[in-house]
Structure 1
Amino acid sequence: MDETIDWLRDRPYYEGQIAAERTLEGREASFADVELDTRVESVLESAGIDALYRHQADAIEAVRGGDDVVLATPTASGKSLAYTVPAFERALESRRTTLYVAPQVALINDQAETLSEWARGLGFASGVTVDRYTGRLSKTEKRRVRERQPTVLLTTPDMLHYGILPHAHRLWDWFFDRLETVVLDEVHEYRGVFGSQIALVTRRLDRVARRFDSDPQYVCCSATIGNPVKHAATVTGRDADSFTLVDRSSAATGPTHWLLWNPPEYEGGGWGSGRRKSSHTEAKRLFVNLLQRGLQTVVFTTSRQVAERYATESADALRERGEHDLASGVGAYQAALRSERRRELETGLREGSIRGLWSTNALELGVDIGGLDAVVLDGYPGTRMAAFQQAGRAGRGTDPALVALVAGEDQLDQYLLAHPDALFEQDPERAIANPENEHILPKHVLAAARENWLHPGDDRYFGERFPDVVADFESAGELDRRTTAEGIRWTYAGDGSPQHEMSLRTAEDREIVLQARGRDDPIATLPFGDALRDAHPGAIYHHQGTSYEVTDLDLRHDVATLQRTYAGHYTQVLHDKEITVDRDREEKPFPTREDVTVRLADVTMHKQITGFERRDRSSGEVLGRETLDLPETSLETTALYYTLPSALTRRLETMGDFAGGIHAAEHAMISLFPFEFLCDRRDVGGLSTPIHPHTDRSTIFIYDGYPGGVGLAENGYEEIGNLASRTLEMLRACGCSDGCPACVQSPHCGNANEPLDKGVAIGLLSALVE
């Protein structure tokens, strides 16, 4: 490995691109004695496991002791044994059941194969059986699963929501009668809208279980995040004090050498222009070189289309170098592949016939692929958690591993290359979910009523808003109120299925179907707001490697019509926004400036898409603009905002374009939001205005991008001082003069990044934090 790193340093075309290096030392394994059932012990020994790591033992003992458990250790640290051993023991002793929930079917299939093999090793007479229950099974296959009555059932949150809870009393009574353990794997994935929905699904699960006198323990497996216990408590509805945290891995690892890699700037752009060559192209060249040097390598990239395209280009590059065998061992891995193809690639990685992959984050989760020699991150994946999850795929036992982070040109990537300690020494981000979201909660209350009658005590699951939600549904005729000997009861009054009328992946109800000419089945569906942005007439829409142009958007029937195109441009919408403040909830002075007030508020954001730009795919140059006539949308959500005193406003106005300055500061602060919290950059939005009617002052808003909010604005309000300080640090470190994609420009700006004034933004933030 050292020779490869030296070789990379010495290549003339890589000169100056290694911005920073770090070597994270490995560690020796630490084991602990655990008394196991002899049959379980024999099965593990047959699988080559003759000792348990200390963290596995700690988690097993905590589960045996009746605690809820959060196991937050790195990739490939053997988390599955922490729940498998108790699950098998409980099934052997008394046929108690375990429900395993994971966010992806691929992960369920991987776990089911391993657990089924172990269950077979226990023998038929043991009574331990494993089955999966997912949407990919036919009705007949699902019925056969129920008839087999497995003791370990693996499913997705979606199938739990649609296919199990609604039929608990009729089809699954045998399972809930004996339910003792619920495993939530990859619990860090349950954040934002998805996490808020899952938090309410688990409350419905608990409610159904207790109707059967079951009170299951929760075992939550997580990547390394900043708030594992608090987040697990939010998702499960359990008290944080009920959880035992196991977060120190005792598995053996070798040293990992990190290279932080910056693609060169465009020739002719001038040093400090901020425009850099594509991270995809740079990652491809690095990937091909590593394969040629014998390193089995995976590139993690941003999208399915990128993975497919650059896997093909990488194979072509290897063939041009005469490496035909290597080229045949290159593939692309992403969630849209057939399950058979995914299994082929996973097996090929484990066995060595696949030498390199381009992958989306679908391979980031706990699917078993063995250990790699190297991982290349094609752009910072957005969070430190994801970066280390992906990097954790590199490493064979105690052998050294290489991880190269090839930066993109945007703010987060360039900030980390300028401040590498922020990647390696900062605490990981916190996961956020909000089961009290007023747009999501009522739907789950109605679903719960469909599953079993409601009573006043159900506020233990649904919180203080539960009585008001029930009263609203009763008034609307969707719940019937009854008085029984046990007290008041509400029953579902409808004929349909509330579960099937909502999606766990979004907070919006209205969706637009994307229909391509020449195809019978739709290629996708989009939430209404996303469709106005991405599927308006004239939009270029990319799907699984194919480019389409939207020829029509029929909002009467909620259908967008697309046709294939080979356009060399992309499109970006232009919009106008305004925010009305409905209710100020809290306020405080800025942490370092008493005359600046920060508030947390309920707001409504009104958005009008006015047109779009066509931009050259390679240069980003504007090729033309068109107007659009689309309906206004509104978003009721939560925002933090701060106002500037008149004296500060007047001083900033002397420094340059004041409106451009507050606009630039807003962009920059939003860009670093994911540095503190597990979210995507599009999960938060902003608005800056020299005068706002609610405050009568210069005001900057940062709002949660989901109806009702998922907790991002609240957490930003608490951390406003740190957010502003880090943003100022990022702006000062950027070498550009006027503002660039690495500091203040945003690819999502509805005003085409006009106006922006980096100098005034620095003046504003320095006045706030210094």
Structure 2
Amino acid sequence: MDETIRWLQGRPYYDGQIAERRVIPGREATFADVDLDSRLVSALESDGVERLYDHQASAVSAVRGGDNVVLATPTASGKSLAYTVPAFERALDERATTLYIAPQVALINDQEETLSDLAHGLGFASGVSVAQYTGRQDRKEKEAIRERQPTVLLTTPDMLHYGIMPHAHRLWDWFFERLETVVIDEVHEYRGVFGSHVAMVFRRLQRICERFDAGDERRSSSRGTGSPGDPDWVCCSATIGNPVDHAATVTGQSPDSFRLVDEDTSATGPTHWLFWNPPEYDAGEGFGSGRRRSSHVETKRLFVDLVARGYQTVAFTRSRQVAERYATDSASDLRDRGEHEAARNVHAYQAALTDERRGEIEDGLDSGEVRGVWSTNALELGVDIGGLDVVLLDGYPGTRMAAFQQGGRAGRGTDPSLVAMVAGEDQLDQYLMAHPRDFFENDPEEAISNPENEHLLPDHVRAAARENWLRSGDDRYFGEPFPDVVADLTEAGDLDRRTTDAGLRWLYDGEGSPQHEMSLRTIGDREVQLRDRRNGNRIATLSFADALRDAHPGAIYHHQGQDFEVVDLDLRNDVADLAPVRPNYYTQVLHDKTITVEEDRREQVLSTHDEVTVRFADVSMRKQITGFERYDRQSGEPIGREALELPETTLDTEALYFTVPGEIEREIRAAGDGPDAFPGAIHAAEHGMISLFPLSFLCDRRDVGGLSTPRHPHTDCATIFVYDGYPGGVGLTERAYETVVDLMGRTLGMLRDCPCESGCPACVQSPHCGNANDPLEKGLAADLLAALVE
């Protein structure tokens, strides 16, 4: 790879783009001897597995002993055998069942094929069988699966919620009576709103298991001691900062019950990492404006050169449209070079493709026939594609976890591989170009979810009562608010309170299915349908608040490669009509915000400044969209503004906030020029802090919001708020409250290192700012944060 990197540096477009180069050394594999059933040994050997890696053996031993397990190792480290071996052992010994849950059907398809092949290797007489149960199957297929009674059932959290648990006692008793193992694959994916919902689903699952007393009569040598109805939980995760705590939060189990296995003992070759930063260009503002060449164009140049040189290459990008466009452009460039065979074997891979088409590309990558792919993160999760020579990251994927997962696709055995991350111009990309140590040497991000969100709890309590009667002890699943929620639902007529010999019980007394009345992906139920005015076809569905922001009259809405203009928003019927357009501008809303502190829950004195108190609180954020601005797509300059009359929205959520001491405020005002100096400083500091949230937590920067004000009525002084962007909060600002000094320090480093003069997209400008990024004072924001943390 050294020669190839030198060759890339000699290409005509190279202008010093390599900002950092690191080599992660390879390693030899280490193995452990594990006693296995002879039938399982034969089946594994037929599949090419002669011995287990040390980390696989450690996980198998822990599950055998009745421990819960978190296996947090990189991509392609063989995590699946850690749960397959004990699951198959238990099925062989006593026909015990295993429930495998994954967030994506594509991952389930891949796992079903692998596990079914292994089950067939055991022979029909073994009684071990595998089946998936997802929304893509019709009614007859699902009936046939239940009649067959597989020992390993693969499903999604959605199907578990909608199609299995509501019928546990009528259709699935045979499965839950024998359930001993629950496998949660890709547990890091269960974060934010989705993770908070799924954590409640798993608590309801635990209730069902305990009511069935699963496993009470069937403990054997394949299973350690356990309590009735308490299956073992095996969680597989990418490398994150809090694998045990997150697995415990999601599953509802005690952190102390988990055994962590996080050392990868499989063999790898050396991986060469390049941080590739496109050079600045003169966009009419002069150099130092922070504007850079497109990461897409830079990635395409690298992609075409590497594929032409014979390297099998995958470029990961964020959108389907970019993947499709640049796969086509790359193939065209290869044909222009006379590389017709390579051009024919360049493809785009994304979730909207048919299963058959995705399978063809995956098989081609595995066999080597496919030479290059532009892909969304659909190839990031456990789909088996063999090992690649090169992975290109078209822009920072948003988290180091995702970057390492995507980069982990590179590597054939112990051969060297190359991963190049091509930076975009936003804050996270440019921060990491300037601070590569934070990428390679700091702890990975934490996954955060909040199963105690009181906005979610009532719907899940209704669903739990529909699945099985409630009792007073169920607060151990649903937390302290449970009694109040039950009382409210009983008063509303959703629950029927009964007195029995065993104590008070509550039954669901509503109509229909509470499971189908909620979505696991959202909080709140008001949605707006976006439709094409030409034919009335639905284009998309947005939450009410998102529709006001993105589908107001005059908005440009981008969907699957097509731009639409919103020509009408009917809030009586919650419908927006859109017309296709080809504009030379984009739109961004303007809004006014206010925050009311409802209750301060915790406070701490800033460890670096004893006059600053940071608080964590319940707050209400009120937003009034006042208009929108049009921006030229080429220059980014504003070209027009219009007023809007839309309803105010209220968000009840959680926030951290802190005040600026009067002495520091006076210093900032004295150092600035004009009345906007200090408001611009706190505004820029707020933007910078929000932009770096994803360096600490697995989230998108739009998952949090902020407000800065020179005087707030609750504090009577200058205050900066950062709040969760979802009703009730999903735990992001609560965790950030505990590490706020680190967040401030990183933000200060970003501001100091950005070469721009007055603020740019790489530091303090935000595409989501409701004040059109005005005022912003980057230099004064750095002075403010330095005064707080230094």
Q: TM-score range, shorter-chain basis?
A: over 0.9
Q: What one-letter code is carried by the residue in structure 2 that aligns with 1:599?
A: R
Q: What one-letter code is carried by the residue in structure 2 that aligns with 1:255?
A: P
Gaps of at least 5 residues in structure 2 are: 215-229
Give me the identity figure in percent: 72
**Once the two structures are superposed, what CA deviation does each residue of 1:83-138 show, in whole Å capped at 9, x if it has no partner?**
11111111111110000000000000000011111111111111111101111111
Secondary structure of 2:396's partner? coil
Q: What one-letter code is carried by the residue in structure 2 that aligns with 1:722?
A: D
Q: Distance in 2 between matches of 1:325 and 1:620?
A: 40
Q: TM-score, normalised by structure 1?
A: 0.99
Secondary structure of 1:366's partner? coil
1:197-596 alignment runs, 5 A limit: 197-214=197-214, 215-267=230-282, 269-519=285-535, 521-596=537-612
Say if 2:733 is the partner of 1:718.
no
Q: Please name the residue that 2:77 is paired with.
A: 77
Contact 1:308 1:545 in 2 (8 A): no
**Cα separation, partners in 2 of 1:518 and 1:112, compared to 1, 3 Å:** farther
Contact 2:565 2:579 in 1 (8 A): yes
Q: Please name the residue that 1:754 is paired with.
A: 774
For residue 369 of structure 1, report the CA deviation from its aligned partner: 0.8
Q: Please name the residue that 1:173 is paired with.
A: 173
1:87-102 alignment runs, 5 A limit: 87-102=87-102
Q: Distance in 2 between matches of 1:477 and 1:746?
A: 46
**Cα separation, partners in 2 of 1:669 and 1:5, compared to 1, 3 Å:** same
Secondary structure of 2:366's partner? helix
Q: Distance in 2 between matches of 1:322 and 1:349?
A: 22
Aligned-pair RMSD on alpha carbons?
Answer: 1.1
Aligned residues between the structures: 770
Say if 2:718 is the partner of 1:698.
yes
**Once the two structures are superposed, what CA deviation does each residue of 1:246-287 show, in whole Å capped at 9, x if it has no partner?**
000000000000110111111364332211111111111111
For residue 396 of structure 1, report the CA deviation from its aligned partner: 0.4
Say if 2:682 is the partner of 1:662.
yes
**Once the two structures are superposed, what CA deviation does each residue of 1:349-397 show, in whole Å capped at 9, x if it has no partner?**
1112221111111111111111011111111111111111110000001
Q: Please name the residue that 1:737 is paired with.
A: 757
Q: What one-letter code is carried by the residue in structure 1 that aligns with 2:246?
A: H
Q: Distance in 1 between matches of 2:274 and 2:641?
A: 41
Q: Please name the residue that 1:120 is paired with.
A: 120
Q: Please name the residue that 1:8 is paired with.
A: 8
Q: Please name the residue that 1:58 is paired with.
A: 58
Q: Distance in 1 between matches of 2:46 and 2:296?
A: 43
Contact 1:269 1:275 in 2 (8 A): no
Q: Distance in 2 between matches of 1:628 and 1:321?
A: 52
Contact 2:97 2:152 in 1 (8 A): yes
Question: Structure 1 runs of 4+ off > 4 angstroms?
Answer: 518-521
Q: Distance in 2 between matches of 1:21 and 1:110?
A: 34
Q: Please name the residue that 2:748 is paired with.
A: 728
Contact 1:572 1:614 in 2 (8 A): yes
Q: Distance in 1 between matches of 2:285 and 2:709?
A: 32
For residue 289 of structure 1, report the CA deviation from its aligned partner: 1.0
Q: What one-letter code is carried by the residue in structure 1 that aligns with 2:245?
A: K
Q: Please name the residue that 2:658 is paired with.
A: 642
For residue 745 of structure 1, report the CA deviation from its aligned partner: 0.6
Contact 2:313 2:372 in 1 (8 A): yes
Q: Distance in 1 between matches of 2:553 and 2:164?
A: 41
Say if 2:695 is the partner of 1:680.
no
**Once the two structures are superposed, what CA deviation does each residue of 1:640-660 show, in whole Å capped at 9, x if it has no partner?**
000112121111111221111
Q: What one-letter code is carried by the residue in structure 1 that aligns with 2:184?
A: L
Contact 2:684 2:777 in 1 (8 A): yes
For residue 51 of structure 1, report the CA deviation from its aligned partner: 1.1
Q: Please name the residue that 2:159 is paired with.
A: 159
For residue 12 of structure 1, report the CA deviation from its aligned partner: 3.5
Contact 2:751 2:779 in 1 (8 A): no
Q: Please name the residue that 1:765 is paired with.
A: 785
Q: Distance in 2 between matches of 1:564 and 1:319?
A: 33
For residue 767 of structure 1, report the CA deviation from its aligned partner: 0.4
Secondary structure of 2:499's partner? strand
Contact 1:4 1:293 in 2 (8 A): no
Q: What one-letter code is carried by the residue in structure 2 that aligns with 1:752?
A: A
Contact 2:600 2:616 in 1 (8 A): yes
Contact 1:599 1:642 in 2 (8 A): yes
Say if 2:203 is the partner of 1:187.
no
For residue 489 of structure 1, report the CA deviation from its aligned partner: 0.3
Q: Please name the residue that 1:139 is paired with.
A: 139
Q: Distance in 1 between matches of 2:549 and 2:327?
A: 29
Secondary structure of 2:369's partner? coil
Secondary structure of 1:197's partner? helix
For residue 520 of structure 1, report the CA deviation from its aligned partner: 5.8
**Once the two structures are superposed, what CA deviation does each residue of 1:185-230 show, in whole Å capped at 9, x if it has no partner?**
0000001111111110000001011111022110000000011000
Contact 1:119 1:130 in 2 (8 A): yes
Q: What one-letter code is carried by the residue in structure 1 that aligns with 2:375?
A: S
Contact 1:373 1:396 in 2 (8 A): yes
For residue 515 of structure 1, report the CA deviation from its aligned partner: 1.4
Q: Distance in 2 between matches of 1:565 and 1:322?
A: 37
